[in-house]
């Protein structure tokens, strides 16, 4: 493995707000509609099929080098060993040629291709939406939404706005489905924190928009329904809050075949009786905050374990493919 290949790529931008720099950099958008461009130049149509899948895989796994043997086996698992290596070699050459069309003369290549490894060049000035998104998630990890400062809320807002759709929507390979769900869960967690921040700041109208974005992904997200009920009521829309409860009941029944939780029913009772106080919910209490921080820590550990499991499964799959080819 090349020295330093496992270190995080340090040259990715930390914020989309740095507009002038972004214009001068090669940018890749993996959320929603796939896009590779620099300013008004675009090569979207030239990065299709396996070129697109290969580039996306390497960028998503940009924190470490990837074995060419494993990469070929993953992307061309039905081909023989020699054939998959040939496909990978040709695809890497084509991808480098396409990316070079938008590369400045003095810029290093985005990808480093070695005889046994492929990885993102740490010296690259590439801007990547997924990198900015994940940096924002890590920066605010463990901070309850109602304790975010203005800078933290701005970072999450910019990151959430990058999520124009799921990761590489046209790909349905197992590796992509796994990463898509992981990033989608991070997106929902960001929106949940932003809702809590809006509630603490009494910016109910903005908070409602974040909640609606969560429900577009998961209509049965009960905690989001509760936040929406509370914010609609506090914003003076008691009827809307009651209607939100009805939508919650219907979604839980349709999607999960379950009844609302006691907390949801209690909140509805307060709203119906017109007795809900304009204050933060009990989750703002010190004990609950401590529990929330512990939960964030456990979720981080789960994320690490899932990442280790993913890498192990990919390694096992690659080895099994190689063994199968050698025995055939």
pLDDT of res. 261: 97
Cα–Cα distance between 196 and 153 in angstroms, integer? 10
C-alpha torsion sign, points 204, 208, 210, 214: positive
* pLDDT for residue 166 is more than 70: yes
Cα–Cα distance between 125 and 293 in angstroms, integer? 35
Rounded (5°) CA angle 120-125-127: 85
At 28 the three-state DSSP class reads: strand
Going from the N-terminus, what domains does the chain have, and what CATH number goes with each? 144-285 (1.25.40.10)
At 75 the three-state DSSP class reads: helix
Q: What confidence category does residue 318 fall into, taking pLDDT thresholds of 50, 70 and 90?
A: low
pLDDT of res. 238: 97
Report the relative pairing of strands 35-38 and 27-29 from DSSP bridges: antiparallel
pLDDT of res. 279: 59
Cα–Cα distance between 36 and 46 in angstroms, integer? 9
The residue written with tokens 């809702």 in the block is 195
* pLDDT for residue 286 is more than 80: no
236 DSSP 8-state letter? T
Two structure tokens written together for 101: 């069309």
For the segment 153-164, the average pLDDT, to the nearest whole number, is 97
For 275, residues 6+ apart whose C-beta sits below 8 A from its C-beta are: none
Cβ atoms 146, 200 nearer than 8 A? yes
Q: What percent of the chain has pLDDT over 70?
A: 77
Cα–Cα distance between 247 and 262 in angstroms, integer? 16
């Amino acid at each position: 493995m090349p020295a330093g290949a496992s270190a995080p790529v340090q040259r990715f931008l930390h914020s989309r707000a740095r507009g002038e720099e972004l214009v001068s950099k090669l940018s890749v958008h993996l959320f929603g509609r796939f896009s590779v461009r620099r300013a008004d130049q675009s090569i979207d149509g030239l990065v299709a099929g396996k070129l697109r899948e290969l580039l996306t895989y390497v960028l998503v796994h940009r924190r470490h080098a990837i074995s060419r043997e494993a990469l070929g086996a993953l992307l061309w698992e039905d081909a023989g060993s020699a054939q998959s290596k040939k496909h990978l070699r040709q695809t890497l050459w084509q991808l480098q040629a396409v990316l070079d069309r938008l590369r400045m003369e003095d810029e290093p290549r985005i990808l480093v291709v070695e005889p046994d490894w492929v990885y993102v060049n740490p010296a690259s000035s590439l801007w990547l939406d997924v990198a900015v998104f994940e940096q924002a998630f890590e920066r605010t990890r463990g901070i309850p939404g109602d304790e975010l400062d203005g800078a933290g809320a701005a970072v999450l807002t910019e990151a959430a706005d990058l999520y124009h759709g799921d990761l590489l929507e046209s790909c349905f390979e197992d590796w992509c489905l796994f990463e898509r769900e992981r990033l989608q869960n991070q997106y929902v967690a960001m929106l949940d924190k932003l809702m809590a921040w809006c509630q603490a700041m009494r910016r109910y109208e903005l908070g409602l928009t974040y909640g609606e974005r969560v429900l577009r992904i998961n209509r049965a997200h009960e905690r989001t329904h509760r936040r929406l009920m509370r914010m609609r009521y506090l914003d003076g829309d008691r009827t809307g809050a009651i209607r939100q409860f009805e939508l919650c009941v219907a979604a839980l029944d349709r999607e999960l075949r379950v009844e609302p939780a006691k907390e949801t029913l209690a909140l509805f009772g307060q709203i119906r009786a017109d007795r809900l106080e304009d204050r933060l919910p009990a989750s703002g209490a010190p004990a609950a905050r401590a529990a929330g921080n512990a939960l964030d820590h456990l979720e981080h550990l789960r994320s690490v374990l899932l990442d280790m499991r993913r890498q192990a499964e990919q390694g096992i799959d690659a080895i099994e493919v190689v063994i199968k080819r050698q025995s055939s």
